Amino acid sequence: MPDLLSEKTATELAALLAAKKVSAREIAADCLAAVKTRDAQIAAFLGYDAADLLAQADASDARRAANASLGPLDGIPVAIKDNIAVAGQPLTCASKILANYVSPYDATVVTKLRQAGALVWGRLNMDEFAMGSSTENSAFQKTRNPRDLSRVPGGSSGGSAAAVAAGMTPLALGSDTGGSIRQPAAFCGVVGLKPTYGRVSRYGLAAFASSLDQIGPLARTAADAALLLAAIAGGDAHDSTALANPVPDYAAQTRQSSGPWRIAVPEEFFANGFDAGVRAAVERAAAFYREAGHTLVPVSLPRTTAAVAAYYIIATAEASSNLSRYDGIRYGHRSAAATDALDIYSLSRAEGFGDEVKRRIILGTYVLSSGYYDAYYVRAQKVRTLIRDDYMRVFEDADFVLSPVSPTPPPKLGAASTPLETYLADICTIPVNLAGLPAVSVPCGEADGLPAAFQLTGKPLAEGALLAAAHLFETAPQNRPAA
């Protein structure tokens, strides 16, 4: 049994709260205790407001005492990645350029969480402006993997994944532009879901690449992810890309859907160059579904081999545009050495942005420049369409695509030698963002003693079915972690 309530699943906590066996304040206090004892080594949190968390918990307990609970998330803590706005809380995107910025408003997902009674708390570390795959690009601290403190937790939502994995919060929100929820979930051994593009509002999310970004849950189980997704999904007048489709009962779908499913296994994601231990773990997961009565279908997704190149043109182009607002004039860091308007722009951005952010701004500006726009950006968008076409063709005869999340286990801190090496590590996750599809990262044991995970990608708006397939796997007796 977990020593702290913060180590229990959100589903377990919801049942205990409903039965009035624990209070929201007790859960919140245990989260704070876990952070105090564990985060000195892990460094998942950039900060948190303990008094505010306890006040929210007391309000939740008062609602339950009056038989006015707001639902299953009422009283459950949800920690927030530091690129999602929470009114009155810092919003730094782990960057010096926003080191002193405090958000004046709530992101739509935060508003929805409050409406569900969730306890919104904490600012979780990340790669600066969500640009990275290790949470080593943060301007403030490097987060460590709770499963092995010498390893990275993944990124850019490394703080979110590490906080859940370390038992410091039952649920967390992250953002996923090219794998930034799924890859750290895989490295830390938790569940991470990237919803369909538009399923969750992006209002209040600091933009990296607007056509790719998506907020989503990190949790201990698929059932927990379903609870959190149901609370944050839905249309939003503040975000024209947010889909107004009705939000289904994801928790019920997760428990009740059982297939039979046809699961596509693409040859491109099991090629040479993948770690043998990761490949073996993912193949065991595929075999589980076959033995459970589902059909595995060998397929090809030929254009996904161009996904990394297309992504790093589209994403950097959009980043170049989105990050132009951080200029040292309207808000954010302003250089003390500036003597004129040009200095304000150039020095403030040079001092405020880290190397990886500068690298991507420069690359994005280049591919959008006169003479290169058609050669790079337009062609990359065409490749993006072809990649989506590949997936939709596969989905004519299959329910899901099964693949690894990462080609390797979590690397050692500081192990990446070049930016290109880091970019190629997202080869399995990037195609899903380009196609705008939902995908879930599911723990499937270990590779060389480190967490391994597989990825299920689904049709647009098929989050419920994805979570059901993940739930089937994780609740099978042979797949449960040893006590």
Catalytic residue list = 81, 156, 180
Q: How far is C-alpha 438 from the chain's CA centre?
A: 12
DSSP 25-75: HHHHHHHHHHHHHHHHHH--EEE--HHHHHHHHHHHHHHHHTT----TTTT
CA distance 215 to 164: 16
Token code pair at residue 105: 């408003």
Token code pair at residue 46: 């950039």
b or e along 186-222 (b: 16 or more beta carbons within 10 Å of the residue's beta carbon)?
Answer: bbbbbbbbbbbbbbbbbbbbbbbbebbbbbbbbbbbb
CA distance 382 to 303: 11
Instruction: Give the position of tokens 């967390």.
Output: 172
Amino acid at 270: F
Longest C-alpha distance within the chain, in Å? 70
Q: What are phi and psi of 474, to 5 degrees?
A: -75, -20
For residue 31, the number of C-alpha atoms closer than 13 Å in the C-beta half-sphere is 34
What is the pairing mode between strands 295-299 and 119-124? Answer: unpaired
CA distance 239 to 121: 24
